[in-house]
């Protein structure tokens, strides 16, 4: 099934020098969050088990449902027999939920985001969609809407279906699990942080008390400041572990003005053995690499004019050309020392030009006539998980249409000029 889901995707060539990072995992990726620039990737398009990293999709749908006022933070959800049965399984990450008892969406969400509580996750799914069956449909639909590839959701939690007490979603295998590629996982994380950055307010909590639970919920993300694998700037996002998926982690950290997203899937130690700490050891290597070798740079300011493309010709206007410039700065993440590897590229909207490459008056001030994009001429390019940074190229001033008299005189002048040029050539031929 996994093999069938793998899609061949054309991606930029990878430099062999990157292999020195030597990440011990079946798949891995590093992405700068604001630009979507991929800084490192390994086996990034193969669909693999994601375990509880699945809960990031549940979180996304929950935030969306709150935004759309389908549910509320203080709304109480009655615990079903199914949720109760899953929640009391001590072999799984859980907070015990009593059947028939009510908990708020906020309480259930904190249990899911901090402690990866599986029963609480299913309760949220039921609150949003009425059943986990319908919620899984929403998960797959949202993944498609977000443009993800190489994925399949079969439950809301990331558990193996065999752990769902015989109540797994109809049409899915009895021992099936959620799968996704590292690229898709990073893209989901990026979308979650972009649309609902408040998720970090909860994923960054090291521990918290849950009603009726004697011990505090301890965050499974041991890279949070103050925990055993503490790393400066780490504030999310989600761990995941099953026998099928191995030890997984989607992490994020911010230093200065740069936020990085990392994904490791089935992380191992240097001897190829899976250990709980392996995902954090490998993530640290990736974060160190990103923060030590890359930085955010504003390559081109707003009002930038591309050399050789400072203006466009205009026909039928009071002026014969109009100046053009960018309407916003372009900020990108760059490998240190590679600023000169980027060149500006002007791309005009040819639909706005006539066959002679001219704009036709009237032309509005600030009219979008193309884009300013970047061309990378270096050796280390993994591409982007989203559209690369660019800016609109717009007109600096308006150009009004000339009146009929001026246009007529220009036409006459052009005609006379053509006659004169023709005569001059003929005369020249006599000598």
As a whole number of angstroms, the distance between CA 328 and CA 68 comes to: 31
- The per-residue pLDDT for 424 is 44
- The per-residue pLDDT for 203 is 98
- The per-residue pLDDT for 221 is 98
Dmax over CA atoms of the chain, in Å, equals 109
pLDDT band at residue 1 using 50, 70 and 90 as cut-offs:
very low
pLDDT at 423 over 80: no
The residue with greater pLDDT, 378 or 24, is 24
- The per-residue pLDDT for 71 is 98
Q: What is the mean pLDDT of residues 191-208?
A: 98
- The per-residue pLDDT for 274 is 86
Q: What is the mean pLDDT of residues 5-19?
A: 42
- The per-residue pLDDT for 131 is 97
- The per-residue pLDDT for 14 is 47
pLDDT at 351 over 80: yes
- Check whether the bond before 362 is cis (ω within 30° of 0): yes
As a whole number of angstroms, the distance between CA 328 and CA 304 comes to: 8
Whole-number Cα distances in Å, 303 to 34, 269, 327, 328, 376: 22, 50, 6, 7, 21
Provide the token pair at 180: 């996704």
- The per-residue pLDDT for 327 is 92
As a whole number of angstroms, the distance between CA 164 and CA 54 comes to: 15
Contacts of 148 (CB under 8 A, 6+ apart): 180, 184, 187, 188
Provide the token pair at 142: 């949202």
pLDDT tens-digit readout, 261-315? 999 999 999 888 888 999 999 999 999 999 999 999 999 999 999 999 999 999 9
Q: Within 13 A of 40's CA, how many CA atoms are on the CB side?
A: 29
DSSP 209: -
Return the active site residues: 52, 55, 116
Whole-number Cα distances in Å, 100 to 83, 123, 142, 426: 10, 12, 30, 101
- The per-residue pLDDT for 317 is 86
- The per-residue pLDDT for 17 is 42
Contacts of 381 (CB under 8 A, 6+ apart): 12, 13, 14
pLDDT tens-digit readout, 303-349? 999 999 999 999 988 899 999 999 999 988 999 988 888 899 999 99
pLDDT band at residue 421 using 50, 70 and 90 as cut-offs:
low
Provide the token pair at 253: 């950290």
Range name among 14-28, 110-124, 330-344, 357-371 with the lowest pLDDT average: 14-28
Range name among 142-146, 167-171, 410-414 with the lowest pLDDT average: 410-414
Question: What's phi and psi for 91, nearest 5 deg?
Answer: -80, -10
pLDDT band at residue 374 using 50, 70 and 90 as cut-offs:
confident
Q: Within 13 A of 296's CA, how many CA atoms are on the CB side?
A: 17
pLDDT tens-digit readout, 141-152? 999 999 999 999
- The per-residue pLDDT for 429 is 46
pLDDT band at residue 403 using 50, 70 and 90 as cut-offs:
low
Residue 215 CB neighbour total at 10 angstroms: 9
pLDDT tens-digit readout, 77-132? 999 999 999 999 999 999 999 999 999 999 999 999 999 999 999 999 999 999 99
- The per-residue pLDDT for 79 is 98
pLDDT band at residue 354 using 50, 70 and 90 as cut-offs:
very high
Provide the token pair at 376: 């990378």
Average pLDDT, the chain: 89
């Amino acid at each position: 099934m996994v093999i069938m889901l793998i899609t061949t995707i054309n991606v930029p060539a990878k430099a062999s020098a990157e292999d020195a990072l030597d990440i011990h995992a079946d798949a891995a990726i590093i992405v700068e969050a604001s630009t979507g620039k991929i800084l490192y990737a390994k086996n990034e398009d193969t669909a693999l088990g994601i375990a509880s990293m699945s809960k990031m999709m549940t979180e996304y749908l929950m935030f969306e449902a709150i935004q759309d006022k389908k549910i509320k933070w203080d709304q109480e959800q009655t615990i079903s027999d199914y949720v109760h049965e899953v929640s009391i399984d001590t072999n799984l990450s859980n907070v015990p939920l009593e059947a028939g008892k009510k908990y708020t969406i906020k309480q259930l969400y904190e249990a899911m985001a901090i402690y990866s509580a599986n029963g609480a996750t299913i309760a949220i799914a039921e609150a949003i969609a009425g059943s986990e069956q319908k919620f899984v449909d929403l998960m797959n639909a949202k993944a498609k809407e977000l443009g993800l590839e190489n994925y399949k959701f079969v439950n809301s939690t990331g558990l193996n279906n065999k752990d769902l007490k015989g109540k797994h979603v109809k049409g899915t295998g009895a021992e099936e699990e959620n799968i996704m590629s590292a690229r898709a996982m990073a893209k989901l994380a990026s979308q979650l942080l972009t649309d609902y950055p408040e998720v970090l307010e909860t994923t960054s909590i090291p521990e918290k008390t849950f009603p009726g639970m004697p011990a505090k919920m301890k965050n499974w993300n041991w890279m949070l400041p103050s925990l055993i694998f503490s790393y400066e700037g780490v504030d999310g996002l989600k761990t995941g572990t099953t026998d099928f998926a191995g030890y997984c982690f989607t992490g994020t950290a911010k230093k200065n003005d740069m936020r990085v997203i990392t994904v490791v899937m089935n992380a191992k130690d240097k001897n190829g053995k899976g250990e709980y700490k392996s995902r954090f050891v490998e993530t640290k290597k990736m974060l160190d690499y990103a923060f030590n070798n890359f930085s955010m740079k504003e390559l081109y300011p707003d009002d930038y004019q591309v050399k050789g493309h400072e203006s466009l010709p205009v026909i039928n206007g009071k002026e014969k050309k109009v100046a053009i410039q960018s309407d916003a700065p372009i900020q990108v993440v760059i490998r240190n020392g590679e600023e000169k590897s980027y060149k500006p590229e002007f791309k005009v909207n040819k639909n706005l030009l006539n066959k002679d490459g001219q704009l036709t008056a009237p032309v509005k001030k600030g009219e979008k006539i193309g884009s300013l994009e970047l061309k990378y001429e270096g050796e280390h390019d993994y591409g982007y998980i989203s559209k690369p940074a660019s800016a609109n190229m717009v007109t600096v001033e308006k150009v009004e249409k000339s009146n009929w008299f001026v246009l007529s005189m220009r036409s006459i002048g052009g005609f006379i000029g053509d006659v004169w040029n023709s005569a001059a050539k003929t005369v020249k031929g006599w000598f």
